């Protein structure tokens, strides 16, 4: 394992896309409505949902406001005090990683 992998989370783009898609559906946003609210193309949103790419920082901020979550909640899964990024378990607790 490389040194940076021990300190920082690695984002699984495909799993993050699925997670963002699920959060949008829970809030009742379809791609058409989301694209209008965010002023981005539906194709861009499809790419995010399908894990082809991640939203840029500006769009992550807009998504976090629309979905009433933090940017971290869009990208990192948390369970039992540990962070999960996609399917990979991180060996550090959130307080250690982000301190």
DSSP per-residue string spanning the chain:
--HHHHHS----HHHHHHHHHHHHHHTT--HHHHHHHHT--HHHHHHHHTTS----HHHHHHHHHHHTS-HHHHH-EEETTEEEETTEEEEEEHHHHT-
For 67, residues 6+ apart whose C-beta sits below 8 A from its C-beta are: 23, 24, 27, 74
User: What's the pLDDT at 36?
Assistant: 96
Return the pLDDT at 20.
Answer: 93
The pLDDT tens digits along the chain (99 residues) read 455 444 555 677 787 888 899 999 999 999 999 999 999 999 999 999 998 999 999 999 999 999 998 887 888 655 544 556 544 444 443 433 443
Domains and CATH numbers, the chain: 3-97 (1.10.260.40)
């Amino acid at each position: 394992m490389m040194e940076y992998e021990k300190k920082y989370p690695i984002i699984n783009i495909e799993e993050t896309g699925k997670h963002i898609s699920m959060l949008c559906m829970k809030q009742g946003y379809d791609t058409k409505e989301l694209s209008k609210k965010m002023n981005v193309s539906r194709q861009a949103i499809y790419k995010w949902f399908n894990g082809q790419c991640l939203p840029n920082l500006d769009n992550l901020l807009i998504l976090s406001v629309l979905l009433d979550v933090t940017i971290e909640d869009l990208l990192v899964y948390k369970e039992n005090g540990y962070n999960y990024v996609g399917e990979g378990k991180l060996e550090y607790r959130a307080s250690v990683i982000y301190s």
